[in-house]
Amino acid sequence: MQVPFLDLKPQYKALEGAINARIQTVLNHGQFILGPEMLEAERDLAAYIGTKHCLAVSSGTDASIIALMALGVGPGDEVITTPFSFFATAEVISLVGAKPVFVDIEDTAYNLDVAKIEAAITPRTKVIMPVSLYGQPADYDEINALAERHGLVVIEDAAQSFGAPYKGKKSCALTRVGTTSFFPAKPLGCYGDGGAIFTNDSELNKKMEMIRVHGQASRYNHVMMGVNGRLDTIQCAVLIEKLKRFDWEIAQRNRIATAYNEGMGSLGHRCVVPRMRADRGSVWAQYTVLVDNRDQFAADLKARGVPTSIHYPSLLPHQPVYRELGLSAGSWPVAERVSARCISLPMWPDMTDEQVAHVVKSVREVLGA
Ligand SMILES: *Cc1c(COP(=O)(O)O)cnc(C)c1O
């Protein structure tokens, strides 16, 4: 049996009529930029997450750039973040001219370790930007309290965690600003690049809205530097329909994660399954385990028709460009250990029971269980 790593086709099949009709409406009215579906999607997304405002933007990367620009983060400033994430997390900090300061992760959910943040705060620190990795929120109550004591802003990089529950709230609404991505493979994806910014701060939202369109306050009246960061109306139309299925999809992802945990949890240290904090949930952007001899494990699974992927094989400060910028000196022992052992298994909402069972059986066989 061959299992794909991710298969978005069944999802489209389920929503085909509704999505096609929505796209056709946009084709008919012709407002491809800032059309009515954008406002509708923003209203739906803000209502779902529980924030006052939502701005639909061109990508998760642009969402974070716009948030940082609106907060006035730039040259001379430092932003504390994790060394264990997708490159964009640090890239956006560097792009606005600030310096990423990498703080090690904790060993349960592999998110920023609150206990290690304080030692990294300097007079130049302006923002703490945690990532809710693989879909599980970081320790936002503690991080927000720490930030408040030091007069810092917290931005959640929620690119992998849109809507994940945390103490009665949802990821994207846990900090002053939350940014997410609608890249097709993310928990809520559109049919191209896309992203969104969430906040309850109306003044900040106004500023971010202007930055999204070239710092424009009114037509051809530019009051600050901005970017071209709008989300196409067609992508918004897709999101409106896909959001309606999202809760069902997350329930499916949880069902699959539970089956994986039950099938592999008994393997102990040979296959360390994801550990969940009792006060939060995950939207399972990835189901990632830790194994020894990862290359052999991946090859043996591939031979059984089970593809894998590595999130992430090296730390951000160890990327060539950060070596060049002189940011690679430092020690992140937990992130290094996790990065050397992590491997993600197939996970998407429309996985069949047979596919899930085949992945579990294959992992157990490969590990000699
Ligand atoms: C995907 C991702 C991004 C970037 O999102 P894009 O929409 O691809 O620009 C940023 N941070 C994290 C943690 C991500 O996983």
CB of 60 within 6 A of ligand 1: the answer is yes
Q: What is the mean pLDDT of residues 162-187?
A: 98
Pocket test for ligand 1, best of 62, 79, 89 (most atoms within 8 A of CB): 89
**What are the sequence ranges of the domains in the chain?**
9-240, 246-366
Read out DSSP for 79-103? Answer: EEE-SSS-THHHHHHHHTT-EEEE-
According to DSSP, residue 298 is labeled H
> Could you give the count of Cα atoms lying within 13 Å of 310 in the half-sphere of its Cβ?
15
Which residues, at least 6 apart from 330, have a Cβ–Cβ distance to it below 8 Å? 102, 317
> Which pLDDT value is given to residue 196?
99
Q: How far is CA 208 from CA 67, 128, 190, 221, in A?
A: 6, 18, 22, 16
Q: Please list the residues that pair with 155 across neighbouring strands.
A: 177
Give the Å distance between the CA of 354 and the centre of ligand 1: 31
The reply to whether CATH 3.30.1340.30 applies to domain 9-240 is no
Give the Å distance between the CA of 45 and the centre of ligand 1: 18
Q: What is the mean pLDDT of residues 104-132?
A: 98
Distance of CA 253 to the CA centre of its chain: 16
- Name the one residue in this structure whose structure tokens are 């939060």: 280
Does residue 71 surpass a pLDDT of 90? Answer: yes
> Which pLDDT value is given to residue 147?
98
Does residue 1 surpass a pLDDT of 90? Answer: yes
CB 63 within 8 A of CB 180: yes
CB of 131 within 6 A of ligand 1: the answer is yes
Residue nearest to atom 5 of ligand 1 (CA): 60
Distance of CA 141 to the CA centre of its chain: 19
H-helix or E-strand spanning residue 287: strand 287-290
Q: Do domains 9-240 and 246-366 have the same CATH topology?
A: no
CB 100 within 8 A of CB 90: yes
Mean pLDDT of the chain: 98
Nearest to 282 by CA among 256, 263, 308: 256
The identity of residue 37, as a single letter, is E
- Pairwise CA distance, residues 231 & 190, whole Å: 10
Q: Name the CATH superfamily, with its identifier, for domain 246-366.
A: Aspartate Aminotransferase, domain 1 (3.90.1150.10)
Q: Tell me the percentage of the chain whose pLDDT exceeds 90.
A: 99
Q: What is the mean pLDDT of residues 70-86?
A: 98
- Pairwise CA distance, residues 197 & 60, whole Å: 8
Does residue 369 surpass a pLDDT of 90? Answer: no
Lowest mean per-residue pLDDT among 237-241, 274-278, 297-301: 274-278
Pocket test for ligand 1, best of 85, 86, 91, 110 (most atoms within 8 A of CB): 86
Q: How far is CA 136 from CA 74, 187, 196, 287, in A?
A: 29, 12, 18, 11
Whole-prediction pTM: 0.97
- Name the one residue in this structure whose structure tokens are 């703080």: 103
Per-residue burial over 5-36, b if 16 or more Cβ lie within 10 Å, else e, is eeeeeebeebbeebbeebbeebeeeeeeebbe
Tokens of 347: 């996970």
Q: What is the mean pLDDT of residues 98-112?
A: 97
Does residue 129 surpass a pLDDT of 90? Answer: yes
